[in-house]
Structure formats: C-alpha cells, structure tokens
A and B are shown apart, each in its own frame.
Chain A
Amino acid sequence: MIALVDYGLGNIQAFANIYNRLNIPVSIAQDGETLAKAERVILPGVGAFDWAMSRLNQSGMRECLDDLVMNRKVPVLGICVGMQMMATRSDEGEVPGLGWIDAEVKKFDMSNSNQHTRLPHMGWNDVAASEFDDIFGGMEDGSRFYFLHSYYFAPARQRDVLGITDYNGRFASAVRSGNIFGVQFHPEKSHRWGVQLLKNFAEL
C-alpha cells in the first residue's frame, strides 16, 4: 500500500485520484498507526518551508516517518516542498529540515540573468534524467513537468542527482539517495508524464 502523508499540505486528493484510475491502492495517512503499514510513502507539499516543516512536526507522524525511511528503508517520494524538507536546511526558513539527504535548499540567484521573468520558476520545463530504470522509466524520449518554486534542492553529493533542469543554470530537479526520492516539480499536476512517474514509483 502507498501511503499519502496528509499533514495538511499538498494535493492529497490529486494523488489519490491518479492512483485510483491506475487501480493502485493508496491510504491517506493522518496518524502514525496508518503510516506505519506503508510499503511506499509519498510526502507531498505546497507552501513555504517553515510552514510545511512545522505542520509535519505537529502532525504526530514525524517519528514514524523517520523510522520508515531511515531504518526500514521504505521507498519515499518527496514532492516540491516535500522534497525540500528532506534537506538539512533551507534559505527560505529557520526550522531544520528532515536531514534525510545531505543537501541544502537555496534560493535561485537570478542576478546574472538576462531574462525578463525571473522568480518564481513557474510553468512547464524539461527534466533530463540520468537513469531510466526507476521513476523516469519510459521517459527516454524526454519528459516535461510543472514547476512552481523560487528555491531549489542542492545535494552535497553529485551521485544523488537523478534529473536536471535548466533555469538560469542547471539544478537538481530530481534526486535519489537509496530508498529516498525527491522531485521539485509536481507530478500530480503534470499530465501523462506525472502519471507515468507516479506509476513507476508504485512499481519500484
């Protein structure tokens, strides 16, 4: 069963609808008891870093989530701020991140950009994946996803980078560290590419 972590942020219903159409069972986890049964975990997110971290910390699921991901090595997919929370810290806030991946979240530096529209990075952009044997399976011909953010995930280890996107320079739009996956874009709002990615994650 895939558990959607419902800490009050992110589009739980959009994920549930996509998986329902794929006939893949999901549970919506609002407490540790439900979450503990998960074989896969999706950590969604929309909003500011501190707001998201505070809500997750107050959800009663933090301890269980850390245990699932770090000890039991259950595959987890963080989305947007859900990905950013996996880092140790963020330029956007003060609250410490989950620290699952050695990474920081930084604000885009657009000072050297000659393009007119700067931040947020908003809209459909390409993701160049470095591997196609996990979440980017079937997307060898390219994929595009919807982005909506002003901060980006900067992993300390180059080998954790799974996908790259160009926005005034290249940044890690997808990462993988063992059982931990993160994507900066919104697969739940990215039509067939997003559906494919979510299906791939379910079938890992």
Chain B
Amino acid sequence: MLRPRIIPCLLVKGAGLVKTRQFADPKYVGDPLNAVRIFNEKEVDELTVLDIDATTEKREPNYTMIRNLAGECRMPLCYGGGVSSPEQIEKIITLGVEKVAISAAAVETPELIAEGARRVGSQSIVVVLDVKKSGLLRRQEVFTRNGTRKTGLNPVDFARRAQDMGAGEIVVNAIERDGMMGGYDLDLVREIRGAVSLPLTVLGGAGSYDDLATLIREFGIIGASAGSLFVFKGKYRAVLISYPNAAEKAELLGAPAN
C-alpha cells in the first residue's frame, strides 16, 4: 500500500538553514548537514531543500552543498533553487539527488519542464508553485522570486499546464501561511487536486500533527510538507528538530503501526 508522504522542507540561505514567515524574516535554525543527519535518524519519508537566494541572486545552485547533502541523505532528496536550464537539472541528478524542483524558471519558460522531463524523466521533475491571494478580488495567483514578483497566473491553470508539459509532481506553497503554523490552505489544495492527477505536495501553514492528519484524512495519498513544524518547538520558536515517531505517524496516517 502506497503511503502519504510527510516531508520536512529546509530553507538554505548562505551556508545555513533558516525558517521564514510569509517568505520574510529568516531566522537561523542550524547547519544543513547536521539537520540531514538528525532526519536520517528519525527516518523521514523524504526531504526537500530549497536554496531561497539562488534565483534572486542570479547565481548557480551550490553544487558542492548539494553533493554533500545528497550523499548524506538516507532518504530521497528534492533540491530546488536557482535551477533554470536542462543542463543544471541533469547536473543536479548526477550529484545524487532524486528530484529537482523548478519554480520561477518553470513559470517563465514552461518548456523547461518538458525538456527536463525528456532528459531525466518526469518522475524527477517537481514544479513548485508559490501562491498567494492578490488583487481586489483576492484571487489566488502564482508568485516568483520569493513571493515578490506577480505572474498573473492562476495556480490551477498553471498546475494543469505543468502536468501537460511532463512534470512529475506539483508542490503548492501558500505564501501567506508560510511560518504561521495556522494550518494548510485546504481550499487551495482542493482546487489544485481537482485539476491534476500528479502527486501533489502541500507546503505552508502546518503547525501541528493534527494539521498533517487533517490533510491526509481528506486527500489520502498526498505529500504533507512543513518547515516550522519540524524545526521549532513551543511558542517562543526554540530550535529543535522533530518528526513524528512510528507510533505518532501511524496515528496521523490512520494506519497500523510498522
């Protein structure tokens, strides 16, 4: 039986890990390799690492860091940040990463999705949609460059387009819920889920294991991703890496332990 995936999402800034709120106020939370080692011990389902400066600083992905992280991970790794060409996608896969996330470049040149999928296979191409409500009518819209640039694109339409172009997974990230720990935007998930049959992973807003369970209860096979939930403890946001243990996980998946 295929299981829902519970996925910590780590944000890289410079050489360290940070956690943001609504894509702002990065707070330092530790060293990436150290975090990977802790998540190995906790047997996490998958790990996502996003370099949040690479695209805005117009620089290449940090290949040395990616190689080190991929070699250390005993779980699948998805890397995103600064990826804008098929050559970069190939290179990142050859460093030992299972999945490459593209965001701004996918929006600006959707053909990159198709070319990436042709070269490395659809299963390794992840399209990340950063979404927030915008305009007088507060309609959901896709943003890029850490939430600073409007695209005018409706996330449902773009998710469908990404699927048609050959993406293997959609990650939908609710900007206004980032770091707020108030729960996922389930309406947004329903809309995207209704439009595509690709694996879907949801990011932005999870503040408790109940939030993960609520998502999984409604959507079944889905990726429940979170940042703050797995790196902070308590209302003062003390840094402490955590992840549901086998019993907690069984409970929130509504499945027998094992």
B91-99, B131-139, B141-149 - interface stretch:
B91-99
Q: Contacts of A142 on B, CB cut-off 8 Å? A: 258
How far in angstroms is the closest Cβ of chain A from B221? 5
- A9–B199 CB distance below 8 A: no
> Looking at the complex, which one of B71, B76, B124 makes contact with A17 (CB distance below 8 Å)?
B71
User: Once bound together, how far apart are the Cα atoms of A186 and B99, in whole Å?
Assistant: 13
Q: Contacts of B177 on A, CB cut-off 8 Å? A: none
Q: Contacts of A119 on B, CB cut-off 8 Å? A: 122, 168, 197-198
Closest to A192 in B: B43
- A126–B96 CB distance below 8 A: no
- A189–B98 CB distance below 8 A: yes
B1-9, B17-25, B104-112 - interface stretch:
B1-9
A100 at the interface (CB under 8 A from B): no
User: Once bound together, how far apart are the Cα atoms of A157 and B237, in whole Å?
Assistant: 57
User: Once bound together, how far apart are the Cα atoms of A195 and B40, in whole Å?
Assistant: 12
B222 at the interface (CB under 8 A from A): yes
Closest to B125 in A: A120
Closest to A124 in B: B3
- B94–A8 CB distance below 8 A: yes
Q: Contacts of B98 on A, CB cut-off 8 Å? A: 11, 46, 148, 186, 189
- B197–A118 CB distance below 8 A: yes
Q: Quick one: CB contact mask for A176-188 with B, threshold 8 Å, 1 for yes?
A: 0000000000101
A156 at the interface (CB under 8 A from B): no
B75 at the interface (CB under 8 A from A): yes
- A51–B197 CB distance below 8 A: no
Q: Contacts of B140 on A, CB cut-off 8 Å? A: none
- B74–A51 CB distance below 8 A: no
> Looking at the complex, which one of B120, B168, B193, B258 makes contact with A51 (CB distance below 8 Å)?
B120
- B45–A123 CB distance below 8 A: yes
User: Once bound together, how far apart are the Cα atoms of A134 and B45, in whole Å?
Assistant: 26
- A150–B123 CB distance below 8 A: yes
A1 at the interface (CB under 8 A from B): no
- B93–A47 CB distance below 8 A: yes
B130 at the interface (CB under 8 A from A): no
- B3–A123 CB distance below 8 A: yes
How far in angstroms is the closest Cβ of chain B from A140? 13
- B258–A12 CB distance below 8 A: no
How far in angstroms is the closest Cβ of chain B from A128? 11
- B1–A125 CB distance below 8 A: yes
- A117–B197 CB distance below 8 A: yes
User: Once bound together, how far apart are the Cα atoms of A125 and B198, in whole Å?
Assistant: 17
- B123–A148 CB distance below 8 A: yes
In the complex, 24 of the A-B residue pairs with CB atoms within 8 angstroms, ordered by the A residue number, are A11-B96, A12-B96, A13-B70, A14-B73, A14-B74, A46-B98, A47-B119, A48-B118, A48-B120, A92-B121, A117-B200, A117-B221, A117-B222, A120-B169, A120-B199, A123-B223, A124-B3, A146-B45, A146-B46, A148-B99, A167-B2, A189-B75, A190-B74, A194-B74
Q: A116-B197, A188-B74 are in contact. List 16 more A-B contacts (CB 8 A).
A: A11-B96, A11-B98, A14-B71, A18-B74, A47-B120, A51-B121, A115-B221, A122-B199, A123-B46, A123-B223, A124-B2, A124-B3, A125-B3, A146-B75, A189-B75, A191-B43
| B residues apposed to A, CB below 8 Å | 1-5, 40, 43, 45-46, 67, 70-77, 93-94, 96-99, 118-124, 168-169, 193, 197-200, 219-223, 258
